[in-house]
Amino acid sequence: MSPDTHRSTIPTPAATAAPAAFYNALASSYDRMVGFEQRLQQAGRLVTALVERFGPARAAGIDLGCGTGAFACALAAAGFPAAGLDLAEDMLVQARANATHLGLQVRFVSGCLQALPQPFAPGSAGLILCLGNTLPHLLDPGDLGRAFSGIAALLAPGGLAVVQILNYDRILAQQERIVSVDRDADLTFLRFYDFLADGLVRFNILRVAWAGNEAHPVPLHSVLLRPYRRQDLEAAAQGAGLDVALCAGAGNLTPYEAATSDTLLLALRPALTRR
């Protein structure tokens, strides 16, 4: 689907919401949009690959920006004492329901990345995940630095932190408006960007409900993001005393390519001087 095809037909929102309000509004349909069962399987494969490759300490597994809990549940299924943190209370309600349905013990708590290590104990985490394009919601680069410092403070000796965002090196270079179009039996989800003059992007989700062949658009939801590049994340990690152990372009840990990779994934360890 070409971005140019939709430049004149995609509606432009009048306003944006704060991240918590944005995701609370989506909570009831979020698992349908992302395909929770498929996401859970992907999460399990990623956690297995990280454990096999890096052997992180078997302390707590924490998913930051956990949403409806797929990756936190994968941590629990892999044997980590698991926890998930998110700003959106309605997403946490769904996450708790998902964990209960799967028969998994996961602690889900409300909190923000800028305040880490709270509400967790410093040095308590063996494996930290911050995936699914969570970090771009930190519009202030200073908050990005604080988030990485908090992640570093959470890591136990031998711990590993893994952060992932969309590949904005590619998205910005190609001005790619369309993020994805997904449809199940009676809902279509169109995710797309508006590129703003101040360097931010407006991330929009348009839902269309279907009754037979008749479409009924649901109000557009929008939130601002800062499209961090690889150099931004690596600089913030270095400033927090974290070394890059791996730079990958997908959840299967294949090498990152700025021009072609869909995502940017960094595996981070405490710097040698701090071990």
The CATH number of whichever domain residue 38 belongs to comes to 3.40.50.150
Check whether residue 109 and residue 59 sit in a common domain: yes
Highest mean pLDDT among 8-22, 79-93, 210-224: 79-93
pLDDT in tens, 221-233: 999 999 999 999 9
pLDDT tens digits for range 38-49:
999 999 999 999
Q: Is the pLDDT of residue 192 over 70?
A: yes
Residue 8 confidence (pLDDT) above 80: no
* Residue numbers of the domain that contains 182: 3-17+170-225
Total domains in the fold of the chain: 2
More confident residue, 184 or 265: 265
Verify that 200 and 131 share a domain, yes or no.
no
Asked if 68 and 154 sit in the same domain, the reply is yes
DSSP state of 186: S
CATH number, position 183: 3.10.450.630
Q: Are both 130 and 212 inside the same structural domain? A: no
Same domain, 49 and 182: no
208 pLDDT band, cuts 50/70/90, is confident
Same domain, yes or no, for 48 and 177? no
> In this structure, what are the phi and psi dihedrals at residue 225, rounded to the nearest 5 degrees?
-135, 150
Return phi, psi of residue 175, to 5°: 50, 50
- The answer to whether residues 118 and 83 belong to one domain is yes
Q: Are residues 68 and 92 in the same domain?
A: yes
pLDDT for residue 274 is more than 90: no
| Between 147 and 181, the higher pLDDT residue | 147
Is the CA virtual torsion 115, 66, 81, 272 positive or negative? Answer: negative
- Residue 93 and residue 137 in one domain: yes
Q: What is the pTM of this model?
A: 0.91
Residue 97 phi, psi (nearest 5)? -65, -40
Which residues have CB under 8 Å from 152's CB, separation 6+?
Answer: 161, 240, 241, 242, 270
The pLDDT assigned to 10 comes to 55
**Contact by Cβ (8 Å): 206, 189:** yes
Residues 107 and 205 in one domain: no
Alpha-carbon span 94 to 31, nearest angstrom: 9
Residues with Cβ within 8 Å of 47's Cβ and at least 6 positions away in sequence, in order, are 61, 71, 74, 75, 77, 78, 127, 129
Strand arrangement, sheet containing 201-211: 178-183, 187-195, 201-211, 214-225
How far is residue 79's CA from residue 84's CA, in Å, rounded to a whole number?
15
Shared domain check, 267 and 179: no
> Do 147 and 174 share a domain, yes or no?
no
pLDDT of residue 12: 54
- pLDDT 10s digits, 61-105: 999 999 999 999 999 999 999 999 999 999 999 999 999 999 999
Structure confidence at residue 11 (pLDDT): 55
Q: Does residue 4 have a pLDDT over 80? A: no
